[in-house]
Amino acid sequence: MDERDPAAGTARRTGTGRRTGAGRRGSSGWHTTSAPDGPDPDSSVAADPEPDPASVARAIVLRQLTSSAKSRQQLARKLAERNIPEDVAEAVLDRFQEVRLIDDADFADMWVRSRSQSRKLAKGALRRELADRGIDADTTAAALEQLSDADEEAAARLLVERKLRPGTELSDRADRDKTTRRLASMLARKGYQPAQAFRVVGEVIDARLGDGAAGHGSRHDAYDPEP
């Protein structure tokens, strides 16, 4: 005789039977059946493959060039820091150079224009900075041609005039010599030759004294330290 489970409607009751879509009934009632057997999602995830060194190198170079212009040697140093194999680095840099995304001549021209205008650097300092960035002597010389002797002289004069505060009193030789040495040292740090530095400083001080800048009043140091 068929029996009906009051809670299950028309489902047949057996000792080990199943109720479609619900589960299996045991001594404690209906239990949810487990999901069908299948691959474990975690076990199907393979370990990330080793990144391609060339792809990593290209990404590094693009990131570096996006932030600011760089010479080839600067980029090579950055790749070496990231442990990119030397042969891979050279191949990637060669390709960037072929498409002119790396151009040391353009870099040197830009560097000279920017640093001579913003920092008033002379050719000596610019030559050292470019050498530190791997720019060869011929490329550096070509870039420095855009900075004339007159430009360099005008920049030196402007620097000294800025450091000599208006109203400076140079009442004796000792004051003048001290100020001259300090201002000439400032120019030397920016790459100006010593003879040129002392001459320019002397001419600016003479012009200031000739304009009556050494008037009366208390003495004070004429040197405004470079920040």
Burial (CB count <10 Å: 0-12, 13-18, 19+), residue 107: buried
In this model, does residue 220 exceed pLDDT 50? no
- Cβ(215)–Cβ(163) below 8 Å: no
H/E run at residue 198:
helix 194-210
Give the pairing of strands 29-31 and 23-26: antiparallel
Query: What does the pLDDT look like over 145-164, one tens digit per residue?
Result: 999 999 999 999 999 999 88
pLDDT of 32 reads: 43
**Distance separating alpha carbons of residues 209 and 214, to the nearest angstrom:** 6
Query: What does the pLDDT look like over 163-218, one tens digit per residue?
Result: 887 666 677 788 888 889 999 999 999 999 999 999 999 999 988 877 654 343 33
DSSP tag of 217: S
**C-alpha torsion 192→196→201→203, nearest 10:** -150
Give 193-201 contacts, CB < 8 A, sequence gap 24+. Answer: 193/122, 193/124, 196/153, 196/156, 197/156, 200/153, 200/156, 200/157, 200/160, 201/160
**Distance separating alpha carbons of residues 66 and 106, to the nearest angstrom:** 16
Annotate 94-112 with three-state secondary structure.
Answer: HHHHHCCCCCHHHHHHHHH
CB neighbours (10 Å) of residue 146? 12
Give 2-6 contacts, CB < 8 A, sequence gap 24+. Answer: none
H/E run at residue 26:
strand 23-26
**Cα separations in angstroms, 57 against 83, 107, 224:** 10, 21, 46
pLDDT of 211 reads: 65
**Distance separating alpha carbons of residues 71 and 75, to the nearest angstrom:** 7
**Distance separating alpha carbons of residues 223 and 179, to the nearest angstrom:** 6
Mean pLDDT along residues 66-85: 97
pLDDT of 31 reads: 44
Please, which pLDDT band fits residue 44 given cuts at 50, 70 and 90? Answer: very low
In this model, does residue 11 exceed pLDDT 50? no
Domain locations along the chain:
53-102, 149-227
Query: In whole angstroms, what separates CA 150 from the centre of its chain?
Result: 32
Query: What does the pLDDT look like over 109-131, one tens digit per residue?
Result: 999 999 999 999 999 999 999 99
In this model, does residue 3 exceed pLDDT 60? no
- Cβ(126)–Cβ(115) below 8 Å: yes
